Amino acid sequence: MKSPLDSRQLSGPQHSDPDFSRRSWEGTQGVHAQFVDLDGPAIQLGFSFDGDSRRAAGHNLPTRGTAVSRGMVNKLVTGVEPNTEYRVELQIRGTGLIWGIFDAEHRLHYRGLAAGGPRAERYKGQQTPGNGTEWEAVTATITTGPRTTELNAFCIMAENTGPGYCRRMDVTRIGPAAHPARAPETWSAPPPAPNGFPVTIPAVRRFEAAGGSWAPADGVTQVTVDPSCRRQLGDVAGLVAAQLAEAGLARGAVVRFGTAVPDGVHLTLGAVDTAGAARVQAHEAYSLRVAGDGVHVVAGGPAGALYAGATLVQALKGAGALPQGTVTDWTDQPWRGLQVDSGRRYYSLAWLRDHIRDLAYTKLNTLFLRVKDSEGLRIESDVLPGIVDNSPGGGHWTKAEVRELVEFARRHHVSVIPEFDVPGHSEMDTLVYSEFMFPGGAGEAAGWDYSRPQVRRLLADVLRETGETFDSPFVHVGGDEFFGQDHPSALSWIRAATGDPSATPVDAYLQLFNELAAAIRADGRGTIMWNDMINGKNKAVALDKDILIAYWAQIYESLSAEDLIADGHQLIGSSSDLYHDLWPPLNPDDVPNMTINQPLPEYQWETYLNPYVYSRGWSEPARLTPGAESGSHGQLFPIWDDAHGWAPEQLLTRTLLPRLRVHAQSAWNSPPPAATFAEFDEHLRFLGHAPFFGTG
């Protein structure tokens, strides 16, 4: 059954302090932004410098001329009507500014648009009169999409030329759209999936109907646990009970240890019949039997019990009853996760906790955090304290905060894996620890001089510290996009170390990662690295097969995913085709590449709904042959923030939701519940976010 869209007339766009006179951050988010007086109240984007200083006031990192000097201000506009024209007016000053207003649902199925400027050279930005010394009034109009309820006005310091300034952000309603678009009607209750069980994300693998239904008159009475499983399932039962209660599906968050009770949920551990599947994550499998007296769950492990709870929360949403029968659900993909580029910008712990909840809600089990990039280090470090970002508007997490986050994730059966990228992506490292860098290395060739034993020891120490801080089963060591491999000192080192005069710079590169992996292994952890510098040009050194390869694209002469698996490597995917790149899409005809539109969910649904598909860079992606599937162990959905903070967390939450839901369906690898993304869109909108999402 469907109900019409809410057609109430709204009172007009609502946004606070448009001229910044109240100096209020209410409804406004800034990155490297601060209030100043400049011909009146204004926001400064980026940093000011005294004389020839490389450091801005209050900043511990060299920021002049680096990407860290970028900044952003974003104002949330609510009370917005669909199919309506709005005007944004800004006053800006500086060089390298991008400005405008963004509608995340400008077109159906999450294709957003930013109206503003400049359209040409949008990565370079705009200069105001007087070589950036005078104020300029700029304006743009945007017609909202058929489902739009909010807009985001923004100004970005896109170049490394800061500071820039904004002293007004005002949004007004013009009138109804000349050509209104129509959105599908929303559901009041979902239809059943093709197998007869209510739609969930991801869809369950199998449902065997038994006839009849179960309709708890007053919701779930309580969650009971087999007493023999008290230690393993007690915490999970508490979480499931709380989620049912928060979703309005239970009388209260009550957990008991004993036998099943009427209209209750009973949890126990045991073997799950997965019908002879060739590869099964047994501890994440579960069976869920709906009977006349309630729900009976048998799980292969605590994670499976938690996933059974997520299935139940989703299936009961909007439904007065569930069909009786047995769900049997499992996955064959060990790695199912979200990858967050926290090296280029700070993410709040509350945002990370929310998305850990969302991962568990859709049976994703891993959160990758890139904690070091060319913008500095996002975590406290005793080994390399000089690159820890202590800046206002930047920031880092303390070791204590990381421990609390990791413990929160464990309760949701999510592993948090840190990435500390070496030897490349090290612009800031080069500036702070110049004595440890390749002589003469600059730009993309700037990096740690790993021909020196003290440098390799230092890198091993910081990677081991990172693993200890996160208490993680793996440490991702980077290894991507380093173009300084041909330095003579690297070649001299590897030929002396191997005694092989035919050794190449690639041998030196692989030897670095073999040594780092050995150091990490001594702490009982595994190692992950990127694929793009593994190109087969090594002659004397073979890469350790215990290193898990994160494959993002067949680029920079990288071997293909198929060839790496044939050579004995184990892979997980983090496809460049799916990069959720956080740049505003100013051109309505722009391809999704390098904007917050990427990936278009329809493309993601049509091309990457199978977890054995790998990116080939600028070519069409390739599906592994059946014989290579055993070397593929899952997929990550990647967020990359080359704009360094343009998209505030609230906006990213909106744009990430549909893409992460398609990814969850793909990564679980169960039969899809819909034929097209348009149909799946209605499912994900109805099911929404996890219980307690948004509570910090």
Beta-ladder partners of 448: 437
Which of 642, 663, 656 is CA-nearest to residue 573?
A: 663
Nearest to 426 by CA among 392, 455, 464, 396: 455
Beta strand pairing status for 286-291 and 294-299?
antiparallel
Q: Which string of DSSP letters, residue by residue, matches 166-217?
A: EEEEEEEEEEE-SS----PPEESSPPBPTTSSBP-SSPPSEEEEEEEEE--B
DSSP state of 214: E
DSSP state for residue 22 in the 8-state scheme? T
DSSP codes, 77-92: EBSPPSSEEEEEEEEE
Q: Reduced to 3 states, what is the DSSP secondary structure of residue 671? A: coil
In this structure, what token pair is assigned to residue 85? 């024209």
CA 318 to chain centre: 28
Nearest to 650 by CA among 678, 689, 592, 682: 689
Buried b (16+ CB within 10 A) or exposed e, 80-96: bbbbbbbbbbbbbbbbb
Alpha helices in 81-217 (DSSP H): 129-132
Please check whether residue 667 is in contact with residue 333, taking contact to mean a CB–CB distance below 8 angstroms.
Answer: yes
CA–CA dist 603, 666 (Å, integer): 13
CB atoms within 10 A of CB 357: 22
Pairing type for strands 264-269 and 294-299 reads parallel
- From CA 430, how far away is CA 561, in angstroms rounded? 32
User: Where do the structural domains in the chain lie, given as residue ranges?
Assistant: 2-176, 206-329
**Which CATH number fits the domain 2-176, given the four candidates 3.40.50.1820, 2.60.120.260, 3.40.50.300, 3.40.50.10490?**
2.60.120.260
- Do strands 548-551 and 571-573 pair parallel, antiparallel, or not at all (unpaired)? parallel
**Nearest residue to 482 (alpha-carbon basis) of 421, 424, 559:** 424
d(CA 687, CA 322): 16
Comparing CA positions, the residue from 459, 498, 457, 464 lying closest to residue 482 is 459
SS3 571: strand
Q: For residues 621 and 575, is the Cβ–Cβ distance under 8 A?
A: yes
Look at the block and give the residue holding tokens 């975590």: 379
Query: How far is residue 288's CA from residue 304's CA, in Å, rounded to a whole number?
Result: 10
Structure token digits, residue 348: 């709040």
Tokens for 391, please give them: 């800046």
| CA separation for the pair 584, 113 (Å, rounded) | 7
Q: Which bin fits 380, alpha (ψ -120 to 50), beta or left (φ > 0)?
A: beta
CATH homologous superfamily of 206-329 equals Chitobiase/beta-hexosaminidase domain 2-like (3.30.379.10)
Question: Per the structure block, which two tokens stand in for 541?
Answer: 């050194």
> What are the CB-based long-range contacts (under 8 Å, 24+) for 494-501?
494/451, 494/540, 494/541, 498/540, 498/541, 500/539, 500/540
Residues 6+ apart with CB under 8 A from 303: 283, 284, 365, 413
Half-sphere exposure of 478 (CA within 13 A, CB side): 27
Q: Side chain identity at 674, as an amino acid letter?
A: A
For 9, the 3-state DSSP assignment is coil
Mean pLDDT by 10 residues, the chain (696 residues): 38 88 93 93 92 88 88 95 97 96 95 90 86 97 97 92 92 96 86 89 97 91 96 97 94 89 96 92 98 97 98 89 96 98 95 98 98 96 97 91 98 98 93 90 78 98 98 98 93 97 97 98 98 96 98 96 98 96 84 82 96 94 97 98 88 97 98 95 95 95
Q: Which pLDDT score is estimated for 9?
A: 46
**Beta partners for 28?**
75
Angle at alpha carbon of residue 428, lines to 616 and 458, rounded to 5°: 90
Please, are residues 223 and 241 in contact by the beta-carbon 8 Å criterion? yes
Query: How many CB atoms within 10 Å of residue 156?
Result: 29
Q: Which is nearest to 202 in space by CA: 696, 695, 687?
A: 687
**Structural contact between residues 554 and 560, judged by C-beta atoms closer than 8 angstroms:** yes
Helix (H) or strand (E) holding 411: helix 399-411
Q: What is the DSSP code (8-state) at residue 46? A: S
Backbone angles phi, psi at 560, to 5 degrees: -70, 160
In degrees rounded to 5, what are phi and psi of residue 227? -55, -30
Instruction: Round to whole Å and give the CA distance between 444 and 38.
Output: 37
Contact (Cβ atoms closer than 8 angstroms) between residue 113 and residue 151: no
Beta bridge mates, 157:
71, 97
